[in-house]
Amino acid sequence: MNITLKIWRQKNANAKGRFVKYNLENVSPEMSFLEMLDFLNEQLIKKGDDPIAFDHDCREGICGACGMYINGRPHGPEKKTTTCELHLRSFEDGSTIVVEPWRSKAFPVIKDLMVDRTALDEIIRSGGYISVNAGSAPEANSIPVDKHSSDKAFDAAECIGCGACAAACKNSSAMLFVAAKVSQLALLPHGKPEAARRVQKMVKKMDDLGFGGCSNTYSCQIDCPKGIDVEFIALMNREFFKAKVCKSKAK
Amino acid sequence: MIKFDSKIPSGPLTEKWETYKTGLKLVSPANRKKLDVIVVGTGLAGASAASSLGELGYNVKVFCFQDTPRRAHSVAAQGGTNAAKNYKNDGDSVYRLFLDTIKGGDYRSREANVYRAAEVSNKVIDHYTALGVPFAHDYGGMLDTRSFGGVQVSRTFYAKGQTGQQCLLGSYSSLSRQVEKGTVTMYSRREMIDLVVIDGQARGIIARNLITGELERHSAHTVVLATGGYGTVFYLSTLALGSNPMAAWSAHKKGALFANPSFIQIHPTSVPVLNEYQSKLTLMSESLRNDGRVWVPKAKDDNRHPNEIPEEERDYYLERQYPAYGNLVPRDVGSRAAKERCDAGYGVGDTGLAVYLDFKDAINKQGKAAIKDKYGNLFEMYEKITGIIPYDEPMKIYPAGHYTMGGLWVDYNLMTTIPGLYAIGESNFSDHGANRLGANSLMQCSGDGYFILPYTIADYLADEIATPRIPTDTAEFDKAEKDVKERIDRLVNIKGSETATSFHRRLGKILWDYCGMIRNEEGLLKGSQLLKELEEEFYKELAIPGTGYELNQELEKALRVETFFEIGHLMIQDALNRKESCGAHFREESQTETGETLRIDEEYAYVAAWEYKGPDKKHIMHKEDLNFEFVELKQRSYK
Ligand SMILES: Cc1cc2nc3c(=O)[nH]c(=O)nc-3n(C[C@H](O)[C@H](O)[C@H](O)COP(=O)(O)OP(=O)(O)OC[C@H]3O[C@@H](n4cnc5c(N)ncnc54)[C@H](O)[C@@H]3O)c2cc1C
Ligand code: SF4
Ligand code: FES
């Protein structure tokens, strides 16, 4: 099949970017989207041009490294699919595909389609953990975990930290990402002692880093490649409210 | 001559570690913060080591080439992690886990190390559970386990098909907590290119900042490599594309012995090659073989649709050849059998390099819902990649490079032959012999990082408390940086017309064909020759756009490919040297009458530890004899 690409090219963080058009002939519908970019890059390099920079690693939808806007949607048109899992068979022969980096104040462009998502690490550092040192854990079965909570915690924990939720959101809110971690740990008995502290610190960090607030448009869930449910945002809001009440009572 | 002592403690197997541990030196809390530790790698091994050393109060610097530590390749592990909890009351014990691992490794690993890995496995599960890793639980609120990798007990702890992700996110969270506390400094998007050795001790690294291209000097009292495996040497593999052995190899060139480099596990069930631009072979978990039946058509070049081939015209070759184990034979056996059928002309699909994994009978017996419940996410993954729905027709699968048992040689302390340089996780060689059992790697990586290294490294650092911070403006750092710069300039200035990837693809094919699942002397010699020719071409025809001093992903690839050439030569040399078959290493010349691996214990019950002698010189082999004090050596049989 033949396709036309319009790809955002930007030399570095400070340069002005622009779209550049590329015509690609004889690509196979079996190719993954990133293999198609590899193919284009091979051609660019052979011509002595600068190849397109993008992040990727596992190429099987689990590491969260890849991610780009494809035809106006984070990770492209398929539901619950990361960019690396997307294949050209999802596009029609002869189509034009527009490819851009994440657009979010908190994710500055590094080069071309590569962005800086350190902000997500910073949110986790602010409280996305259970404070237990190696060696001090009790026997694993000494604290029963009801199956429902454990399964639900798992659903939240599936987040791969790709940042699509914030990129999809018109407010650049990272609520879904934060809610997923807060919920995972709040649902498990081991995470409860720190739950109040955790949610407050993480939400504050998110605000400080320039992510916007949530106005319940739910575009995050639609574009989340792991289908993280917005119900976790509600759960986080409850945790946040609970923490506030406890704090003011303590005062 | 290199100093070479495995330091295995004497005494009964069950008491070695406990006794040894109490004899190790300690560092007082006040002294710890004066001691710098570099950890390269943030997979399960690196993240667990860095966080626990941080918790102890050492001053830790940790490196990874991804944009965040949470993306290390460990994230992709699917099936689970083993522990000897015996929660199922099915007769499991530390000793049985030890025994299964030794046997699974076809008696080419060290008893003492393996026993210790089994011993600390239970603490790993306790720790991950406390960190909030959502392992599967049963209705009673207790942890669930499953049986995995053809063993007879149920000891594999799992979080659906994403156990690696969940464990890694657990250790990433503890790492993040230490970063926030200030005990650990995180350096992401950095690639270690060289090791710095001062007066015989590992004292630092040269890392390339992948965003700016700058070369950075980092010093420490000790350096830990947790840099993973090199299955990507075949180009197509189940590993993340970035996985590479450059860090370990740089240490090797500075004096660390490299052990059993040719021991690479080929996993039998991955999605086969579908197009010539394919960059990755996705693993389809081993667990699928619990219900899937493997077959090829009985007739050669039968290109009917699989659903149109009647039962009596199908060859369920694993069930036919291995009636006792059937579809559940170990990985190496399953892989070779698939290759044998395809090479004989019975393979299916466009390339003829695939066999069927069929769920029809399981669906008929158990119902579609039951199969969906067990394997839903894997079926979905398969459909995304191939566009084929495996509920309706069989999957096509083929073996793929998966795990490197070989790696840096380490002693019982996990220290390499360079004093002060440690290697943990998949980057070392110590626990899996010639073949790794399913779910044993996550166990080993976490055990190394959380519960072994923190003890053994203290023993070394106790003698370092009087050593001031290591300066980076020394002749050794100057030299190492200059060497790296020259290496980069050399590659960038070739200005040929072939990309690093195209060389990698060709190099991978050579090793896959001649040093892959089946090896023989003639093929290995041919592979060696082809590799040499391709390497010469690489240094003439490589194309890297741009310069070394900016973001340059092509340069990153080229540096890695350069390493693959070097390690490829050693893999071949190692495979040539070992004229026996064992585990994943199958030398055609050494097989039983029925075509199974034939070990030659009298000659080869040793670890081949290779010493680097210089760019154009042959490696020298050192032998570490494997003394089996506690188990009896037997030939494996799955018939
Ligand atoms: C698809 C798949 C499924 C698997 N499933 C299982 C399973 O179910 N159970 C099991 O036990 N095992 C499984 N394994 C094996 C297991 O996942 C790995 O062996 C294990 O995760 C390796 O962990 P590690 O910490 O040693 O290295 P890795 O997780 O590979 O991490 C390497 C780290 O080193 C860093 N690094 C490497 N080189 C450099 C450098 N030069 N400079 C800076 N940083 C560097 C990387 O950035 C990364 O952080 C699986 C493997 C694959 C491929
Ligand atoms: S919540 Fe979804 S979209 Fe957001 S970072 Fe996690 S996986 Fe990506
Ligand atoms: S490359 Fe890992 S999720 Fe896409």
List chain A residues with CB under 8 Å of B455. Answer: none
Q: Give the minimum alpha-carbon distance from A172 to chain B in angstroms, rounded to a whole number.
A: 20
Rounded to the nearest integer, the mean pLDDT of chain A is 96
- C-alpha B387/C-alpha B380 separation (Å) is 10
**Residue B96 in 3-state DSSP?**
helix
**Is A164 in the same domain as A217?**
yes
Task: Please tell me the distance between residue A16's alpha carbon and the centre of ligand 2 in angstroms.
Answer: 28
Beta strands B421-423 and B222-225 are: parallel
CATH number at residue A50: 3.10.20.30
Testing ligand 3's pocket by substitution, the residue of A37, A54, A60 carrying the most ligand atoms inside 8 A of its CB is A60
**Is A130 in the same domain as A107?**
no
A67 is in which domain, residue-wise? 3-111
Q: Answer with the one of A111, A129, A147 that is the final residue of a domain.
A: A111
Q: What is the pLDDT of residues B46-86, one digit of tens each?
A: 999 999 999 999 999 999 999 999 999 999 999 899 999 99
- A251 in a domain, yes or no? no
pLDDT at B2 over 80: no
Ligand 1: atom nearest CA of B44 is: 25
- At residue B148 the predicted structure's pLDDT band, cuts being 50, 70 and 90, is confident
**Is A89 in the same domain as A137?**
no
Across A21-37, average pLDDT: 96
Cβ under 8 Å to B: A residues 192-251? none
* Two structure tokens written together for B388: 């084929």
Which residues lie closer than 8 Å to B317 by C-beta, 6 or more apart? Answer: B294, B295, B296, B337, B341
Considering only CA atoms, which residue is closest to atom 14 of ligand 1?
A: B77
List chain B residues with CB under 8 Å of A136. Answer: 130
List chain A residues with CB under 8 Å of B48. Answer: 134
pLDDT at A251 over 70: no
Testing ligand 2's pocket by substitution, the residue of A82, A122, A224 carrying the most ligand atoms inside 8 A of its CB is A224
- A100 in a domain, yes or no? yes
- A90 in a domain, yes or no? yes
Ligand 2: atom nearest CA of A120 is: 5
Least Cα distance to B555 among A34, A17, A50, A109 occurs for A50
Q: Give the minimum alpha-carbon distance from B275 to chain A in angstroms, rounded to a whole number.
A: 7
Across B91-110, average pLDDT: 96
Backbone phi and psi for residue B99, each to the nearest 5 degrees, phi listed first: -65, -45
pLDDT for position B1? 62
In terms of pTM, does the model score above 0.90? yes
- B126 inside 8 A of chain A by CB: yes
pLDDT at B137 over 90: yes
* Two structure tokens written together for B609: 């530890």
Q: What is the pLDDT of residues B246-268, one digit of tens each?
A: 999 999 999 999 999 999 999 99
Q: How many other CB atoms sit within 10 Å of the CB of residue B261? A: 29
Considering only CA atoms, which residue is closest to atom 47 of ligand 1?
A: B64
- At residue A205 the predicted structure's pLDDT band, cuts being 50, 70 and 90, is very high
- A75 in a domain, yes or no? yes
Q: Give the minimum alpha-carbon distance from B620 to chain A in angstroms, rounded to a whole number.
A: 35
Cβ under 8 Å to A: B residues 557-586? none
CATH number at residue A239: 1.10.1060.10
- A227 in a domain, yes or no? yes
Whether the CB-CB separation of A127 and A236 falls below 8 Å is answered with no
Q: Answer with the one of A53, A84, A111 that is the final residue of a domain.
A: A111
**Is A154 in the same domain as A98?**
no
- At residue B235 the predicted structure's pLDDT band, cuts being 50, 70 and 90, is very high
Whether the CB-CB separation of B240 and B43 falls below 8 Å is answered with no
DSSP secondary structure of B509-568: HHHHHHSSSSB-HHHHHHHHHHHHHHHHHHHHHB---S-SSS--HHHHHHHHHHHHHHHH
Judge: A134–B385 Cβ closer than 8 Å, yes or no.
Answer: no
Percent of chain B with pLDDT over 90: 92
Testing ligand 2's pocket by substitution, the residue of A80, A176, A231 carrying the most ligand atoms inside 8 A of its CB is A176
Cβ under 8 Å to B: A residues 115-144? 116-118, 120-121, 124-126, 128-141, 143-144
- At residue B274 the predicted structure's pLDDT band, cuts being 50, 70 and 90, is confident
**Is A93 in the same domain as A54?**
yes
**Is A17 in the same domain as A85?**
yes
Domain count within chain A? 2
Across B94-98, average pLDDT: 98
Residues in contact with ligand 1 by the CB-under-6-Å rule are B 40-46, 63-66, 72-74, 76-81, 163-164, 190-192, 226-229, 238-239, 243, 246-247, 283, 402-403, 425-427, 439-442, 445
CB pairs under 8 A between A and B: 214
Q: What is the pLDDT of residues B314-328, one digit of tens each?
A: 999 999 999 988 998
- SS3 of B30-68: the string is HHHCCCEEEEECCCHHHHHHHHHHHHHCCEEEEECCCCC
**Is A226 in the same domain as A140?**
yes
**Is A103 in the same domain as A136?**
no
Task: Please tell me the distance between residue A184's alpha carbon and the centre of ligand 3 in angstroms.
Answer: 22
- B75 inside 8 A of chain A by CB: yes
Whether the CB-CB separation of B442 and B114 falls below 8 Å is answered with no
Residues in contact with ligand 2 by the CB-under-6-Å rule are A 159-165, 176-177, 180, 224-226, 228
The catalytic position among B155, B208, B331, B599 is: B331
- A81 in a domain, yes or no? yes
- A77 in a domain, yes or no? yes
**Is A106 in the same domain as A178?**
no
**Is A129 in the same domain as A38?**
no
- A95 in a domain, yes or no? yes
Judge: A28–B277 Cβ closer than 8 Å, yes or no.
Answer: yes
Q: What is the pLDDT of residues B403-431, one digit of tens each?
A: 999 999 999 999 999 999 999 999 999 99
pLDDT for position B340? 94
- At residue B635 the predicted structure's pLDDT band, cuts being 50, 70 and 90, is confident
**Is A134 in the same domain as A186?**
yes
**Is A223 in the same domain as A107?**
no
Nearest CA in chain A to B244: A57
* Two structure tokens written together for B393: 């027709």
Q: What is the pLDDT of residues A211-243, one digit of tens each?
A: 999 999 999 999 999 999 999 999 999 999 999
Q: How many other CB atoms sit within 10 Å of the CB of residue B30? A: 9
Active site residue B289: no
Q: Answer with the one of A111, A146, A173 that is the final residue of a domain.
A: A111
Widest distance between CA atoms in chain A: 69
What chain B holds in terms of domains, given with CATH numbers, is 276-398 (3.90.700.10), 475-625 (1.20.58.100)
